[in-house]
Amino acid sequence: MRILAIGLTILMSFPLLAKADFSFPLDSVGHKWEGGKLYVLHQVEKGQTTFAISKRYGTTVDAIKQANGGTIDVKVGQIIKVPYSRYRQTGTTAAAKTPASETKPTENTLPIHNAGTHTVEVGNTLFNIAGRYGVSVADLKTWNGLTSDHVTLGQVLIVSKEKFSESNAPIKVNVTPDDTAKLVTPVKEYKPSPVSTPSVKMRTVTQQGLAEKIDAGGRNSPKYLALHRDAPIGTLVQVTNQANQEVIWVKVIGRIPETANNDDIVIKLSSNAFDKISPQTRRFRAEISYSDKATE
C-alpha cells in the first residue's frame, strides 16, 4: 500500500512539473532546489572569477558567497551553487497562487510615471544609472552637461529625453498691448551697494593609482574607512575598482604615511571596505573622486 501511495503521488505531481519552464545558461551542469530557493550548479572554467560568474547569472558576488558557505575561492573544475531566479511557471503553479498583494517588482522595475530625474545614491555610477533607465552614457552626459563619467552623491541627473526637452523649452509669455506699454515704461535703476563676500564653489577631485588595505594590527572596524594624502578628514570618497567596476563609498579618517612604499598608493582602505570591492587581490588599480570646497 505504501508503494502504491508513493506512485500515485509522483503521477499526480508530474503535470505540474511538466508545466514549469526553466531556462539556464548553456554552461551550467544542472540545478537544485535547497531551502525553497533555486540554485544553478556551475562548473568553473579557466580564467573565470567570482565576479564574472555573478554577472553571467544576473546575481552578486555576495550572494554566491552566501550560497557556498560564506566564503569562496573558485578553482578550475570546481562546481559551485549560484542563486538564480530567471525561470517562469505556467498553469496552476505556486507562482499563480501567490496573492497579488505579495507580488514584488524586480530590481530594475521603474515607476510608470517617471519624473525623468535621478538622485545619485551610494554605489551609483553613470554606467549603472544609464542601464537602469535604458539610455546611453553619452545621452546622460549631454542632457546633464557632464564632461566626464563622474557623478557625486546627491547629484540630480536628467535621465529621459522628454525631461531634457521640457527643461530646455523656451518660456512662452502672452503679452497684450497694455502689457507691452508697461514693459517699456522706464523705472528707476537700482544699484546695490558693493559687498565683498567670498564665493564658495565645489570642485570634483579625481585621482588614479593603487589601492591597498590598511594594516590595522588585528583591529578591524566594520565601517568603510580610508586614509588619503590630502582629502579633508570626514570626506566621503567614491572608489572604483578599474578591474571589475565595483564601487564603494568610504570616509577619510587620516593621512597616508609619506614613505617610499606608499609612492604609488592613492588610497588605503579598511579591511571590510577592501574585501568588499576587491576580495581576491592584495592591491588593485583604483579611480577615486570626491567633492571639495574651493574658496575664491
d(CA 123, CA 75): 29
Residues of each domain in the chain carrying CATH 2.40.40.10: 200-295
Residues 6+ positions from 224 with CB-CB distance below 8 Å: 248, 249, 250, 251, 269, 270, 272, 273, 276
Between residues 182 and 156, the one the model is more confident about: 156
pLDDT over threshold 90, residue 287: yes
pLDDT over threshold 60, residue 260: yes
* pLDDT single digits (tens) 166-192: 877 666 656 565 555 555 556 666 676
pLDDT over threshold 80, residue 286: yes
Between residues 179 and 58, the one the model is more confident about: 58
Summary mean pLDDT of the chain: 75
User: What is residue 285's predicted lDDT score, i.e. its pLDDT?
Assistant: 92
d(CA 86, CA 108): 14
How deeply is 76 buried, as exposed, middle or buried, from its count of CB atoms within 10 A (0-12, 13-18, 19+)? exposed
Domain 117-167, what fold? Membrane-bound Lytic Murein Transglycosylase D; Chain A (3.10.350)
Residues of each domain in the chain carrying CATH 3.10.350.10: 20-89, 117-167
d(CA 181, CA 185): 6
**In CATH terms, is domain 200-295 a member of 2.40.40.10?**
yes
The reported pTM is: 0.35
* pLDDT single digits (tens) 228-248: 988 899 999 999 999 899 999
Percent of the chain with pLDDT over 90: 20
CA-angle at 291, arms to 149 and 165, nearest 5°: 50
Least confident of 9-23, 114-128, 259-273: 9-23
Residue whose cell numbers read 551610494:
122
CATH code assigned to 20-89: 3.10.350.10
